[in-house]
Structure formats: structure tokens, C-alpha cells
Amino acid sequence: MTDCIFCKIVSGDIQGNIVYRDEQTTAFRDINPAAPTHILIVPNKHIDSVNMLIVDDEPLIGHMFTTAKNIAAQEGIAENGYRLIINTNADAGQTVFHIHLHLLGGAPMKNPMG
């Protein structure tokens, strides 16, 4: 996707504060952090949202969660805890239409789930 900001971070076309990458995923710090640690884990291939997932994507989505777990440990927030969020479409406030897993932690969460 040529006009997708997260595809451009994955490809290196624009600067991202990348904390981890492998063949399937890239993880980078959110530009507008909502917590002391706020990292986005994205698939390297473009998928608009959870609504566009297919069965073949299941290993990839599982890998995103394992990646999040490893990064939480790397960031030193695994023990105290963290929150993983995927927003889908308008009611959830999705603003970037390249699926991404938010990893939030580093302080007790204040906001309610909904």
C-alpha cells in the first residue's frame, strides 16, 4: 500500500523508532504515547483491520501476540503488567488502517475499557 504510513515504516521509507523486527512483524514506538511504554506491533504485510483477516492470517496474528509478550519482557513491564489493544473502525477509534497491536504499560492504567 503506497499511501499507508505503517507500510512506509516497515519498508524504511519513513523514520520509525523501531524496537524489534523479524520476517513477519515490525514493532516501533507510538509517536503520541498514551502510556510510558507504548509500542505498536504491526504485520509487515498490509492488512486494513481485523475485519479483513482470513484464516491464513492466524499464525501471523498469533506471532504478533508472542512478539508483544517478548517486547513487554524486554521493556521491563511484563511483571507489573500491560494492556494489548487492537482498534477496529470508527467506534473503536481506529485512525491508521494497517492492523496494529498496541502494547501499553509502565504505569497503572487509569482509563476504563470502554
CA distance 54 to 34: 30
Binding mask 26-65 for ligand 5GP (x = CB under 6 A): --xxxxx-------x-------------------------
Question: CB of 58: closest distance to ligand 5GP in angstroms?
Answer: 21
| Cα gap 53→65, rounded to integer Å | 15
Q: Report the residue from 37, 71, 94, 105 that binds ligand 5GP according to the rule CB under 6 A.
A: 94
Known catalytic residues?
100
SS3 at position 33: coil
Taking the complex as a whole, the smallest distance from the CB of residue 65 to ligand 5GP amounts, in Å, to 16
Strands lying side by side in the sheet with 18-21: 18-21, 25-29, 37-43, 101-105, 82-85
> Please, what is the Cα angle at 74 between 84 and 7, to 5 degrees?
60
Interface pattern 72-101 for Zn ion (x via CB under 5 A): --------------------------x---
Per-residue binding letters, 27-46, with Zn ion (x by CB under 5 A): -------------------x
d(CA 99, CA 45): 10
Binding site for Zn ion (CB under 5 A): 1, 4, 6-7, 46, 98
